[in-house]
Amino acid sequence: MRVAVGLLALVVAVAGAPRSVWDGVYSKEQADRGRAGYNSKCARCHGDALLGGENSPPLVDQDFLEKWKGKSVGKLVELTRKTMPSDGPGKLSRQQCTDIIAYLLSSNEFPAGNTDLVSDAAVQDEIVIQPKQ
Amino acid sequence: MRRRLASLFIPTILLVVSSVGAHGQQGTQNGEWRFYGGDAGSTKYSPLDQINPSNVKQLEIAWRWKAENFGPRADYNWEVTPLMIGGVLYLTAGSRRDAVAVDAATGETLWMYRLDEGERGDRAVRTQNRGLAYWSDGKNDNRILLISPGFQLVALNARTGLPITNFGKNGIVELTEGLDREVVKPGQIGSSSPAIVIRDVVVVGAALAAGSAPSSKANVPGYIRGYDVRTGKRIWTFRTIPRPGELGNETWEKDSWQYSGNNGAWAPLSGDEELGYVYIPVEMPTGDFYGGTRLGDNLFADSLVCLDARTGKRIWHFQTIHHDIWDWDLSSPPILTDITVGGKKVKAVAQVTKQAFTFVFDRVTGRPVWPIEERPVPQSDVPGERTSPTQPFPTKPAAFDRQGLTTDDLIDFTPQLRAEAEKIAAQYRTGPLFLPPIVRDSGGKLAALILPNHTGGANWPGGAFDPETGMLYVSSVTNPDALALVAADPKRSDMGYVASMGGRRSGNAGDPPGGMPRLAAGEGPGLPNIGPQGLPLVKPPWGRITAIDLNTGDHVWMIANGDAPAAVKNHPAMKGIDLSKAGKPERSPLMVTKTLLFGADGPGLFNAGPGAGGKALRAIDKKTGAILHEFMLPASTTGIPMTYMVNDKQYIVVATGARGTPAELVALALP
């Protein structure tokens, strides 16, 4: 029975029980990797403090959360993968983008958990971005 | 035997012509294009006349050179203008800014130089590239000077592309040293424009991170430096943010000179070999839209500075904006213009600006050719800000684009659109030129409407000058933008106020009041229109070319930059309205020859209105502005066209590209 419950929990987690960014969906190590990726691929336009730039939106705080509230982490990762960096989109892997988004989540002070955010779109699509209530 | 003798004699004759022509004459010489702007004075003028009004319609593509595989990703916003010396084009290419030599007659690649800079290259503050500088001792030592994305100065043998080993360290000079900062991190400083060589000194400007929403009021200063072209030794430094004891230090209150940065010169530079002077268009300091951290006039921000090329000593300067909070930095190379004003010959320099002025000075003394008045301007009400009570206004020439915004400027294609435009405009603070930004949503207003917006009026394409007629041609854009500040979270920035995207909201709530524009296939979004139903808010033309007679200071003609973008033409509310002279909201890259003015739709990739850019290259009647021929290129023009003569054939070469269309050079010639 114990085994069965454990299995059920695993199935729910993988198959995508609704989660939010408050559930520790990335790890600190992953955010650190993402920071390096951000600095090399994103900071030129979005700024070293993610405050945005001349024609690049901020990736933290009110404006960012206003735009992304209720949307999924998967959507944010996919948009990044398809359209960024704007001067040469499509060259970042889904894993690289996932790490960079982990850094964005960390910068927006969503808590880190014990495991990495996996790059599987189906899992990411079930994680909702929610501002602090 | 006769042919052989002739070929032996030709180089000698060319050399004589060259050494005579190097002084006191404007425009390119001997069918070459030795500087980014054609000549050291950035006139973008060539006396070639093989391509002329009678045959320009016969132009066809002679060759294409593809930049797609230069750099780790395909570049499509290639702002380069090649040099042409001795039948060889020299250019930067690709997102890694490789230096390349190309046969000017055939487009064949002759050599390439690639510098892998690792992290400092990856994090380069500016990835655009506009080109190279060239120097020759008049004998066998011919050099190409490259500023790398990671801010290193590289000297290459023009014949082989190999580094000049006795220049700097194995051909490379470190440019991040000598900037009065203990640490200069990768990604803080670079240059997108080439150096210029005057009197054997390589003069290097600087570009830094744009300051819309910086994390800190502290940054690296963009000093101007001079290096010995033979050895790479740094000879002088001109501090664009003066230290105590230097002229202008008192214009940085509360010791803000200590930490403030930027104030480089990201636009191309100009020079006068005969006078031995260089002309530096200095940009603005850290904080594009908020200057509460740097109260005072902030000399030498937004100043045209004339330096002695050999010593770096300041000869004269003029500040075009005091305490800039509009990001109206000097964005194009000063244009050296020998003119005759009131019967008197003047060695002049003209600086076109983002706020749509043409400042004209005697380039020897710095004296204004026409009076420049300090006039009262609106004042900021943002906490901690203090704007200058006055700003400089040239009395002549008149502004080449609209300045400030009133109800009269709003679109009136139909009564309904006018009513909608008025309703939208009422949500913003409006006013004359130098209307300051406001805090977002303060006083019941979303933002301040700034016209020209922070990308200008004019921008880096600047203008072109015909020394034979004294005519200056300048391209500009009429596109107001909403500008507002938001308080910076102290844990993210010590700036007080920031304004990423000009303070426009970036979320769903940030769509312009009139809705988002409907783009046609392939059109870039650009800066959003804020007018009714996603249309422009103000009347056309949205992009224009103006001809100004610099002998009199009078405007001679003005034409639109082609027709309207498809997104506007195809809009249902525009049905039946003639928009053939509405102008693409982009700056036409201009080049002038003895016979024709050449312009183009422009790139429309960044900082332009929705749907800007296009494939048209235009041959324009210099006297009237009439369009004589439109040539459709494979993609949009992204660089300024240049021209040269090789094997008795005149070529026009221009960089092109678009989203989804990798960059390439296109060479045009007569059949």
* B504 in Cβ contact with B482 (< 8 Å): yes
Question: Is pLDDT at A1 greater than 70 in this prediction?
Answer: no
- Res A12: pLDDT: 44
- Res A3: pLDDT: 46
Enter the tokens of residue B443: 């006083």
Q: Per the CB < 8 Å rule, is B210 touching A91?
A: no
Exposed/middle/buried for residue B558 (C-beta within 10 Å: 0-12, 13-18, 19+): middle
Q: Residue B436: name the closest of B503, B492, B490 by CA.
A: B503
Name residue B346's beta-bridge partners: B339
Kindly give the residue spans of alpha helices, DSSP state H, lying in B72-123: 119-122
Distances (CA, A) of A79 to A37, A75, A103, B297, B371: 16, 6, 16, 43, 53
Q: Name the residue facing B215 among A51, A55, A68 (closest C-beta).
A: A51
Which amino acid, residue B53?
P
- Res B660: pLDDT: 84
Under DSSP, is residue B374 helix (H, G, I), strand (E, B) or coil? strand
Q: What angle do CA B20, B22, B24 make, to 5 degrees?
A: 85
Under DSSP, is residue A118 helix (H, G, I), strand (E, B) or coil? coil
Question: Is pLDDT at A5 greater than 50 in this prediction?
Answer: no
- On whether any CB of chain B is under 8 Å from the CB of A54, the answer is yes
Q: What angle do CA B584, B590, B595 make, to 5 degrees?
A: 120
Window 66-95 of A, Cβ < 8 Å to B: 66-68, 87-88, 91
Chain B hits for A54, Cβ within 8 Å: 210, 212, 288, 454, 500-502, 607
Q: Per the CB < 8 Å rule, is A40 touching B122?
A: yes
- Res A56: pLDDT: 86
> What mean pLDDT is predicted for residues B426-439?
96
Q: pLDDT tens digit string along B251-264?
A: 999 999 999 999 99
The sign of the CA dihedral B585, B587, B588, B594 is: positive
- What number of residues does chain A have? 133
- Res B7: pLDDT: 37
Q: What is the largest CA-CA distance in chain A?
A: 58
Phi (first) and psi of residue B166, to 5 degrees: -90, 15
Please give the Cα distance from B286 to B282 (Å, whole number): 13
Distances (CA, A) of B454 to B55, B58, B192, B383, B457: 40, 40, 19, 21, 9
Q: Name the residue facing A52 among B76, B123, B501 (closest C-beta).
A: B501
DSSP E strand stretches across B95-215? 98-103, 109-113, 133-136, 142-147, 152-157, 172-174, 189-190, 196-198, 201-204, 207-208
Walk me through the domains of chain B, giving residue ranges and CATH numbers. Answer: 27-669 (2.140.10.10)
Which amino acid, residue B430?
T
Please give the Cα distance from B114 to B99 (Å, whole number): 7
Q: What's the whole-number average pLDDT of chain B?
A: 93
- Res B15: pLDDT: 39
Peptide bond into B603 cis (omega under 30): no
Please give the Cα distance from A125 to A117 (Å, whole number): 12
Q: Which of B78, B120, B215, B506 to mutate to test the interface with A (most CBs of A within 10 A)?
A: B506
CB–CB contacts below 8 A, A to B = 100
Q: pLDDT tens digit string along A31-72?
A: 999 999 999 899 988 999 999 988 888 999 888 998 899 999
Q: Per the CB < 8 Å rule, is B215 touching A54?
A: no
Which amino acid, residue B140?
N
Please give the Cα distance from B665 to B655 (Å, whole number): 4
Please give the Cα distance from B437 to B432 (Å, whole number): 12
- Res B19: pLDDT: 36
Question: Is pLDDT at B543 greater than 60 in this prediction?
Answer: yes
Q: What is the residue whose two structure tokens read 């203090």?
A: B386
Count how many Cα atoms sit within 13 Å of the Cα of residue B235 in the half-sphere of its side chain: 19
Residue A91 binned pLDDT confidence (cut-offs 50, 70, 90): confident
Q: Per the CB < 8 Å rule, is A67 touching B507?
A: yes
Residue of B nearest to A90 (CA): B73
Walk me through the domains of chain A, giving residue ranges and CATH numbers. Answer: 19-128 (1.10.760.10)
Q: pLDDT tens digit string along B193-242?
A: 999 999 999 999 999 998 899 999 999 999 999 999 999 999 999 999 99
Question: Is pLDDT at B122 greater than 70 in this prediction?
Answer: yes
> What mean pLDDT is predicted for residues B31-38?
98
Residue-wise DSSP of B43-76? --EE---SS-TTTGGG-EEEEEEE-TTSSSS---
Q: pLDDT tens digit string along B286-319?
A: 999 999 999 999 999 999 999 999 999 999 999 9
Kindly give the residue spans of alpha helices, DSSP state H, lying in A26-70: 28-41, 43-46, 61-68
- Res B190: pLDDT: 97
* B53 in Cβ contact with B634 (< 8 Å): no
Please give the Cα distance from B121 to B152 (Å, whole number): 10
Q: Residue B212: name the closest of B481, B465, B470, B406 by CA.
A: B481
